[in-house]
Amino acid sequence: MSGAGLRERALAAAARVSDPEIPVLTIGDLGVLRDVRVAGDIVEIDITPTYSGCPAMRVIEQDLAAALRAAGIEKLRIATVLSPAWTTDWLSAEGRRKLAEYGIAPPAGSAARRALFGSDAVRCPRCGSAQTERLAEFGSTACKALYRCRACAEPFDYFKCH
């Protein structure tokens, strides 16, 4: 198989790997999957954690290796790349849609805007109201904050910008 064909097969298999903490998202949706290359007959994959201490990275590596082997790719190398640091700007439009449908408010705008103004305008993923309040900086995982909607009174996670 040509290097391009092997790369496309590896990319397709890798992009379908689910995030273990938010299973409706793939690592492709998240932007965690950074690069897929072919060097000779070895597939090299770069992944970037959503934050440097992300406990899901080991599981992602194992799931990624299993997905590639299921696609008939035995020679592979997976590298964790920390620079540039992951940002919510890398979330795909599809990933943002999936988060909202799952009940997690997607990041509001770009991470650069938050750095300038220091806060996010968070809409409730259930009713769409902007009348929300942050209850806790950390939600069910460190990459999410816990919010409550004042309109429908429902609590929800918000995928924090960074």
Strands 42-47 and 76-80: parallel
Instruction: Give the model's pLDDT for residue 18.
Output: 96
Q: What pTM does this model have?
A: 0.79
pLDDT 10s digits, 24-60: 999 999 999 999 999 999 999 999 998 878 888 999 9
In the chain, where the domains are located:
3-80, 92-159
CA dihedral 126, 128, 129, 133 (to 10 degrees): 60
Q: What does the pLDDT average to over 100-105? A: 92
Angle, to 10 degrees, between the axis of helix 57-70 and the axis of helix 3-15? 130
- CATH 3.40.47.10 matches 3-80: no
